[in-house]
Chain A
Amino acid sequence: MSGLLTTAVGSLPKPGYLAKARTAFASGRIDGAELDKLTRQATAECIRMQEDVGLDVLVHGEMERGDMVAYFAELLTESMAISGLVRSYGNRYYRKPIITDELHWQGPMTIDMWRYAQGLTDKPVKAMLTGPYTMVDWSFDEHYGSRREAILAMAKVVRREAEELVKAGAKFVQVDEPAASTRPEEMELVSEALGIVTQGLDARTITHICYGDFASVFHHIANLPVDQLDLEMANSGYNLLNLIQEHNSEFQKELAMGVVDVHNHVLETREQVKAGIRKGLEVLPPERLFIDPDCGLKTRTWDEAEAKLRVIVEATREVKRELEID
């Protein structure tokens, strides 16, 4: 593959019919088979849209997931449960899970949907997992009483799932850790847990981290046990690139750089995105640079998400043409 590949971070917006079906399923008005049919229909639309836009590395869109932590917690029925709604900010609430018992892998949680999505395209589809640190940090713990114990136990569960994904044929395994930058003093624990998931895994490993004060933990982030870091940039004025430049000798990884803000309805212009890509190229060579949005696009409308991905692809193509990168 050539340099400057384009990709998406993870989630895509759920089409209206799927959002309605999920509500209907939650209140018992449709059955699981009906919901599954519509989930697959939406997943196929995600793949078609990304192919149409021209992304190089696709995501399956996470149509089967509501919350990235609760999705897994609900499948780990023997060790986790959902406590109830807890406010995140403003009028946003999430269903916060509880660790109720010894964590263990009960069976595949992501294989079916990944396999279905990959079967629809010749391009690689990333396999998406929520990382052990985030799984635990965003859950209550009624069992372990020790963050470290809970996180390392969760890491073994996520590791097993990652192995199953690789067995199924996944070439890219992304382990998202949005909670990672919450506590600088726990970065070594983040790294240790992530290492349990990625060590020796026969796939390109990625982690996506967002919302953080990266400067204070940059050394740790630069050394996380993954092949590729996926970081938001557009939302923070590309300040992170300066950090990477300052620590260039230490930073050996691939970087997927976010060049459009996912929290804003406004569509970036092609020139804005090109400027972001060029900034990235001042710091890293094209073969180590992936171009994507800042974060998952699930909070945007379908049309906004498609437009944001399209401007990424078009801007990347123009930069490649101008700089004769292939």
Chain B
Amino acid sequence: MRVTAAGSYPKIPNRPRPARLRQAIARRDRGDITAEELARVEDEVTIEVIAEQAEAGLDLVTDGQIRWDDDQTYIAQRLQGFEITGLIRYFDTNTYYRQPNVTAPVRWQQPILVRDYEFAADHSTKPVKALITGPYTLAALSNDSHYGDRRPLVLALAEALHQEAKALVAAGASVIQVNEPAILRHKEDGPLLQEAITKMLDGIDAETALYTWFGDADGILPLLMDLPVDVIGLDFVSGPGNWEALKRVSFSKVLGFGIIDARNTRMEPADEIAEQIQRVSEFVPAERLYVNPSCGLEYLPREVALEKLKRLVEGVRRAGAVAV
């Protein structure tokens, strides 16, 4: 059993610690500092949040997506074929992203995440996983003014992100996580997801994961078992229906077990976490388990996020299977 993060980490701490990244972005916007100076602050904050995840006791960390405005634009604006438009709500959260608009054929131009991965790996004592927003979710959360049909857009994105995954592996990434929360809102598109993920991860020599959040995978979990990935991440907080889904399938992969609520400050008692781990062990053995928050941690204040991760690690310890 290993403990990991599902994605993002809060970018700024609360008083009395200074909100350095927020201040740096504001200064860059005013023209007081250069893009390079801002990038240096982003690097420093990335080092901080990697260290916080390690301090909490995680076995596998992320770079916290410190440089990302949101899960969509960071990738879309660096691909060919997109323009970035107005703010739109991200699922049912009180957070917003700028909606990408597809105006031309989607193509990969150059590495998007490679430098970020290399930087994180160089500054982490723990293994780092690379995060990519998946082709289905990128398509579903964008506006399409070019293809006129979701399938060709999703497949074009799968091809573009295949190039990115290859570049990440070439840079040494040993774990690649593809985020596909949108598929839970469009389960009828399971076969299209399968086609896209198969294309994207074809020949990718790394541990691969597909993560979902904000709902349950009941109804498409058998299809997820057939995907060419090693890990399936499920959110058991927003999606208690995942317990039912587990009963109906032979869970043959590693489970990314999302159990602490990354959208609420209530601190789960470590015993409650341990009980959940006991419960899931009926379906998935401990050696095939990642335990992680229900989704990215950016919905929480920084200090709460860190405390939650510590609770998670403590819960795992109490469950009697300390990570090795």
Contacts and interface: CB of A to CB of B under 8 A. Distances in A.
B119 interface: no
- Among B29, B266, B298, B302, chain A packs the most CB atoms within 10 A around the CB of B266
B92 A183 contact: yes
Nearest to B93: A182
Nearest to A179: B94
Interface string B89-102: 10010111110000
A142 B92 contact: no
Contacts of A145: 266
Nearest to B86: A263
Interface string A85-103: 1111111010010100000
A192 interface: no
B22 A91 contact: yes
B96 A86 contact: no
A76 B299 CA distance: 23
A12 to B, nearest CB: 21
Nearest to A185: B92
A287 interface: no
A88 B266 contact: no
| Size range of the chain A interface in the assembly | 20 to 34
A183 B92 CA distance: 6
Contacts of B103: none
Interface string A73-115: 0000000000111111111010010100000000000000000
Interface stretch (B7-15, B107-115, B123-131, B153-161): B7-15
B1 to A, nearest CB: 27
Contact of A85 (B25, B26, B301): B301
Most chain B CB inside 10 Å of its own CB: which residue of A93, A137, A211:
A93
Contacts of A140: 264-266
Nearest to A26: B15
B55 interface: no
Contacts of B304: 83-84
Contacts of B94: 88, 137-138, 179, 182
A227 interface: no
A141 interface: yes
A183 B95 CA distance: 14
Nearest to B96: A89
Given A84-B303, A87-B10, A93 B87 contact: no
B262 to A, nearest CB: 11
B47 to A, nearest CB: 20
B97 A89 contact: yes
Interface string B226-254: 00000000000000000000000000000
B169 interface: no
B301 A142 contact: no
Chain A CB count within 10 A is highest, among B19, B69, B94, B266, for B94
Nearest to A89: B96
A102 B10 CA distance: 29
Contacts of A93: 12, 19, 22
A96 B94 CA distance: 10
A26 to B, nearest CB: 10
B28 to A, nearest CB: 9
Kindly name the residue among A89, A93, A98, A142 whose own CB sees the greatest number of chain B CB atoms within 10 A: A89
Interface in A139-159: 140-142, 145
Contacts of A91: 22, 25-26, 29
Contact of B14 (A85, A88, A98, A137): A85
Contacts of B97: 89
Nearest to A178: B94
B142 to A, nearest CB: 16
Given A84-B304, A211-B89, A89 B12 contact: no
Q: By CB atoms of chain B within 10 A, which of A85, A86, A93 has the most?
A: A86
Contacts of B70: 89
Contact of A87 (B14, B29, B95, B303): B95
A142 B302 CA distance: 17
A85 B301 CA distance: 6
A88 B95 contact: yes
A182 B92 contact: yes
A291 to B, nearest CB: 23
Nearest to B299: A86
B77 to A, nearest CB: 13
Nearest to A183: B92
A87 B265 contact: no
Contacts of A263: 86-87
Nearest to A90: B69
Contacts of B225: none
Q: Which interface residue of A91, A140, A141 has the most chain B CB atoms within 10 A?
A: A91
Given A90-B98, A93-B19, 20 more contacts: A83-B304, A84-B302, A85-B12, A85-B19, A86-B299, A87-B10, A87-B95, A88-B94, A88-B95, A89-B69, A89-B70, A89-B95, A91-B22, A137-B94, A138-B94, A140-B266, A141-B264, A142-B265, A142-B266, A263-B87
- Which 8 A-B residue pairings sit nearest by Cβ, starting from the closest? A84-B301, A89-B96, A84-B14, A140-B265, A142-B266, A91-B25, A140-B264, A83-B265
Interface of A: 83-91, 93, 96, 98, 137-138, 140-142, 145, 179, 182-183, 211, 263
29 contacts: A83-B300, A83-B301, A84-B14, A84-B301, A84-B302, A84-B303, A85-B301, A86-B10, A86-B301, A87-B11, A88-B94, A88-B95, A88-B96, A89-B69, A89-B70, A89-B97, A90-B69, A91-B22, A91-B26, A93-B19, A96-B301, A137-B94, A141-B264, A142-B266, A145-B266, A182-B94, A211-B89, A263-B86, A263-B87
